[in-house]
Amino acid sequence: MLLRKKIQYGRPGSAILDADAAGMRPENLVEVRNLQTHFFTDRGIVKAVDGVSFAVPKGKTIGIVGESGSGKSITARSLMSLIDPPGRIVSGEILLERQDGQIVDIARLDPFGSEIRAIRGADIALIFQEPMAALSPVHTIGNQIIEMIQIHEDLDDKAARDKAIDMLRRVDMPKAEQRIDAYTFELSGGMRQRAMIAMALACRPRLVIADEPTTALDVTTQATILDLLRELQSRDEMSVMFITHDLGVVAEIADEVAVMYLGRVVERGPVDDIFEQPMHPYTRALIRSIPKLGVRGRHRLEAISGMVPHPSNRPQGCPFHDRCPEFMPGVCDRIVPPLEKIGERRDVSCLLHSDVEALKAASEQETTSDE
């Protein structure tokens, strides 16, 4: 049993890498390269994340946008090595620059080991969509924040409590000294999310992963939470990975955007470029399809045809080809488009922007060499 676990998780090679050998760019905090996280179910392999590459720049916010089944949440969980069986990280690298400058490959760490536990909370913290599910109902929010602080820092109870109150103040929790002894059910949705953020930020992580943190909130509360996250981010110079399905939220908060579809990043770049000059047909269609405030009169939305396929049933070639308005028969349904660099911090994964002939030749060569 133990042996099997080793084979499953302990991927070969050392997890701690030389900064030069890793080849990480200094402005990035995290670089994800060709990440693949698969789920081995009874009915076959579900490739939830299938070759995802992106980088989280230091002190900036990257928005990961995608519909359900795009693998955005699984990507986030992979970053914390929180993939439960039957899923696991199959290949790829998740390089993280730790506080002391050391570079670790999270994909190679034992998900139950002490190294990853030291990273969770201290280097990377997670904010969930549903604070009610993520916070314990039987402990006060104060106790949960204090516990979090004491796991990672050597502080006595008094000092930890002071720090917890300070954290609650920083997330604009009104009456923080009293609210620290409140239970989650005594707080409103917005307050709970603030408590959750306070807990995530308690150990001053360098990266905060926020998985749909405002989806369950009302618009007015969402607006204040987004403001808060933006403010905390610029003050602490932390990086934020913001996962959402809502293009409006991304436009509000992100500096960079990665658009995901069926387990792959289809396009990535600075937020203004993505919204002004989307290069991938999916991004373009997605932006066009959503109703926008201020568009008056009666008109039809430009909907994307078809449905998002099940990840276990992904189409051949480009995953978007069967819904794509610019589908090229014989090309898009044959060749999986690589993520091409088309500018500074700008990538797109579409055969319209690739050298199709070269790819064709390469794939043909591959098939002939296979034979």
Partner 1 sequence: MHLPFWSRIRKTRQGKLAGDEPIGVGDNPLLREETTGASEETQWRLIWRRFRRHHLAMGGLVVVLMLYGVAACAEFLAPMNPRAFDSKYPYAPPQRVRMFHESEEGVSFRPHVLDYRVELDSVQMTRVFHDDPDQVVDLGFFVETEPYRLMGFIPMRRQFFGPVNPDHSFFLLGADRLGRDLLSRMIYGTRISMTVGLIGVTLSLVLGITLGGMSGYFGGWIDNLIQRLIEFLQSIPSIPLWLGLSAAIPPRVDPLMVYFYITIILSILGWTGLGRVVRGKFMSLKTEDFVLAARLDGCSSGRIIRRHMVPSFMSHIIATTTLAIPHMIIGETSLSFLGLGLRPPVISWGVLLQEAQNIRTVATAPWLLLPGAMVAVAVLALNFLGDGLRDASDPYA
Partner 2 sequence: MSETTPQTAMAGTTEPTLDTDELLRLESLCVHFPIYKGLLRRHAGDVRAVDDVHLSVKKGEVLGLVGESGCGKTTTGRSIVRILKPTSGKILYQEEHGKVVDLAQLNDRQLFKYRADIRMVFQDPFSSLNPRLTVGDIIGEVLEIQGWRKSDINDRVRYLLEKVGLRPEYVGRFPHAFSGGERQRIGIARSLATNPRLVVADESVSALDVSIQAQTINLLQDLQEEFGLTYLFVAHDLSVVEHISDRVAVMYVGKIVEVADKDSLFGSPKHPYTEALLHSVPKPDPKRRRLGTVPKLKGEVADPANPPRGCYFHPRCPYAQDKCRVERPALRALPGGRQVACHFAEELDLEGIPAVE
Interhelix angle 157-170/189-201, nearest 10 degrees: 130
Can you tell me which residue has the tokens 């959503």? 290
Spatial distance between the Cα atoms of 345 and 54, rounded to a whole number of angstroms = 9
Instruction: Give me the least distance between CB of 361 and partner 2, in Å please.
Output: 34
Region of 6-14, 114-122, 200-208, 279-287 interacting with partner 2 (CB under 8 A): 279-287
Which two structure tokens, joined as six digits, stand for 137?
Answer: 């109902």
Among 159, 251, 336, 342, contact with partner 2 (rule: CB under 8 A): 251
| One-letter-per-residue 3-state SS of 38-61 | EEEECCEEEEEEEEEEEEEECCCE
Cα dihedral 71→76→80→86 (10° resolution): -20
Spatial distance between the Cα atoms of 49 and 261, rounded to a whole number of angstroms = 10
| 350: amino acid identity, one letter | C
Q: Which does 251 bind (CB under 5 to 8 A by kind): partner 2, partner 1, none?
A: partner 2
Residue 282 within binding range of partner 1, rule CB under 8 A: no
Binding mask 64-93 for partner 2 (x = CB under 8 A): ---xx-------------------------
Instruction: Give me the least distance between CB of 302 and partner 2, in Å please.
Output: 7
Q: Is 158 exposed, middle or buried (0-12, 13-18, 19+ CB in 10 A)?
A: exposed
Residue 22 within binding range of partner 2, rule CB under 8 A: no
Q: Which does 313 bind (CB under 5 to 8 A by kind): partner 2, partner 1, none?
A: partner 1
Residue 104 within binding range of partner 2, rule CB under 8 A: no
Residue 76 within binding range of partner 1, rule CB under 8 A: no
DSSP state of 15: S
Among 155, 287, 352, 359, contact with partner 2 (rule: CB under 8 A): 287
Residue 43 within binding range of partner 2, rule CB under 8 A: no
Residue 315 within binding range of partner 1, rule CB under 8 A: yes
Among positions 322-361, residues that touch partner 2 (CB under 8 A) are none
**Rounded alpha-carbon distances, angstroms, from residue 226 to 111, 179, 307:** 31, 21, 30
Report the interface residues with partner 1, using CB under 8 A: 39, 42-43, 46, 48, 68-69, 74, 306-313, 315
